[in-house]
Structure 1
Amino acid sequence: MLKPAEHGFFVGYFKKTPADIKALMIAFIVFFIAGMASASVLMSLNTESPGAGSYADELHGEYLMGTMELKPYPILRVPAEGSKPARAVMLAGSGKFGVDARALPLAGKTAQVGGIFVKRGDLEMLLIGGGDDLKAADLQTSVNLSVAGPQNLGRWRLTGEICDGKCGGGAMKPGTGLSHKACANLCLNGGVPPVFVSTAPVDGHSFFLLSSEDGGPMPAALRDKTAVPVVLEGSVERRDDLMIFKVDRLVDGA
């Protein structure tokens, strides 16, 4: 009579597992664990990096002084000083809010602004706290800060993603992508300036402050297009070191 345990046929009530079945089980377990480990490594390698964005305490409690502009969103135009070139700094508040109401009385005036930066690549945004972090400059130290006019870089069709400049700059990781869509919408609804992250640079820049064709805030039709690939058309304008994408057409969207 055949003994099942000796011929590779296993029956539950036999106490001994056949050697070939035991070897098969061990090999399966080893290969399964190795396969899962390899899959984990490959998935981690293919995961998009959250980016190098971060907070930067560049001012160390001091202030930037410049001319306040409100369109398309509050921007502080800081003049060149020595070897430092002129810069146009996007402004936002704490939490998920912009600073439109606070900046309105300072339109066209010399303002001093404090806070902390978020920076990622050529994107930078100054996050303003409360109190004296945003106010008219002291008349005793205020000077006539002339600003250069905008430079038109022509019409472009760009592929990329709409996000908010605060989280996209490094306040959140990831600050872009579908997993960040709800957060981006909250920021944009609160007045945080929107930013377009382009897949291809224009004159060395990949981040653009978004505006409407006439230079006002981003078109309302684009608010539902955050965090997904879109193709937009419009003109690109340079203000100091800030690029502004004045969108007039949504070509495609996911």
Structure 2
Amino acid sequence: MSWRQTRDAPFFVGYLNAVPRPLVVFLSIFTVCFVGGLGLAALALSSTQNDPGNGGFRWGDRFEKTGMLELRPYPVFRVPADGESPARSYMLAGQGKRGVFDQAESFADQTVTLRGVPVSRGDLTMIQVGKVEASAGDTSGDASGNTGELTLSDPVPLGRWKLTGEICDGKCYAGAMRPGRGLAHKACADLCLTGGIPPVFVSSGPVAGRNFFLLADSNGNLLGGDLDPLLALYIEVEGDIEQLDDLMIFKVDPATARVLK
């Protein structure tokens, strides 16, 4: 480049209150392209993420019902059928990353009034418990399954199944956090399950129209640490399924579990 070309080239001087027109044009084009590129990159990245779903706390739909508290093996609140309303079984969680084992053990197999806030996503509903009170009409029950005026049905066995899916903590997946699944949520899910939040198996295929299953071990007891390494991974596992009202319970056999990807 000659001296004359250098002398006539646009040059920015800080103490001058003006920017050469060619530089203004260049910076304008660069800025538009840079911001547009960032927007396209963000769109491309977000499109690869899993849909977090429409789950969340239903603050405007406060829960207050009378039913029975049971341990199966995690706390479950059962509400019998009432007219055209079918029987329901709700999984329960406490505030934060805690379960409600203390309340469930204190009121186990008793008729109680339970108040709380639903956390729901699709067919999965969990109640964040606020208060549990013994019902005025509670009795100790009898062998037929009647407790006061409550008539509760026995679980219905649905046979042995091999399912693929992911182990999640039920509260976060239902909508307490979004997304509430995947490796990004693994550490949070581990804390929730350690604190007593019920584990849920999210199946890739339905059983009797349901894709969410309360997890237990093969004997129907609390899960130990056998499935901890499989948390938040896509796995295949076998076990027996039973239906409790509208709630599915998956009694998994940890020895059959394997990671698929």
**What band does the TM-score fall into relative to the shorter chain?**
0.7 to 0.9
Structure 1 residue 234: deviation in Å? 0.8
Change (3 A) 1:5 1:240: farther
Structure 1 residue 161: deviation in Å? 1.2
Structure 1 residue 128: deviation in Å? 0.8
Q: TM-score, normalised by structure 1?
A: 0.83
Counterpart in the other structure of 2:133: 135
Change (3 A) 1:14 1:163: farther
Counterpart in the other structure of 2:53: 51
Q: Does 1:204 align with 2:209?
A: yes
1:134 partner amino acid? V
Conserved in 1, the CA contact under 8 Å of 2:230 and 2:259? no
Conserved in 1, the CA contact under 8 Å of 2:55 and 2:120? yes
Measured against aligned partners, the alpha-carbon deviations of 1:70-91 in whole angstroms (never above 9, x if no partner) come to: 1220111110111111001111
1:157-176 → structure 2 map (5 Å cutoff) = 157-176=162-181
Structure 1 residue 147: deviation in Å? 1.1
1:114 alignment partner, SS class: strand
Q: Does 1:97 align with 2:98?
A: yes
Counterpart in the other structure of 1:251: 258
Counterpart in the other structure of 1:16: 9
Measured against aligned partners, the alpha-carbon deviations of 1:73-123 in whole angstroms (never above 9, x if no partner) come to: 011111011111100111111111111122113222212211101000111
Measured against aligned partners, the alpha-carbon deviations of 1:108-147 in whole angstroms (never above 9, x if no partner) come to: 2212211101000111111112xxx113211379833121
Structure 1 residue 185: deviation in Å? 0.8
Structure 1 residue 149: deviation in Å? 1.1
Counterpart in the other structure of 1:10: none
Q: Distance in 1 between matches of 2:208 and 2:68?
A: 25
2:137 partner amino acid? L
Measured against aligned partners, the alpha-carbon deviations of 1:9-52 in whole angstroms (never above 9, x if no partner) come to: xxxx56528xxxx9999988766654443332222223222211
Change (3 A) 1:220 1:37: same
Q: Distance in 2 between matches of 1:26 and 1:5?
A: 27
2:87 partner amino acid? A
2:109 alignment partner, SS class: coil
Conserved in 2, the CA contact under 8 Å of 1:57 and 1:117? yes
1:55 partner amino acid? F
1:97-136 → structure 2 map (5 Å cutoff) = 97-129=98-130, 133-136=131-134
Q: TM-score, normalised by structure 2?
A: 0.81
Change (3 A) 1:76 1:27: closer
State the number of aligned residues.
Answer: 240
Q: Distance in 1 between matches of 2:3 and 2:239?
A: 78
2:57 partner amino acid? Y
1:185 alignment partner, SS class: helix
Q: In percent, how many aligned pairs have the same letter?
A: 44
1:81 alignment partner, SS class: coil
Q: Distance in 2 between matches of 1:174 and 1:148?
A: 35
Structure 1 residue 57: deviation in Å? 4.0
1:42 partner amino acid? A
Q: Distance in 1 between matches of 2:38 and 2:117?
A: 43
Structure 1 residue 58: deviation in Å? 6.7
Conserved in 2, the CA contact under 8 Å of 1:59 and 1:115? no
Q: Distance in 1 between matches of 2:82 and 2:110?
A: 19
1:250 partner amino acid? A
Counterpart in the other structure of 2:233: 228
Q: Distance in 1 between matches of 2:98 and 2:173?
A: 15
Moved more, 162-171 or 51-60: 51-60
Q: CA RMSD in A?
A: 2.8
Q: Distance in 1 between matches of 2:152 and 2:47?
A: 46
1:69-84 → structure 2 map (5 Å cutoff) = 69-84=70-85
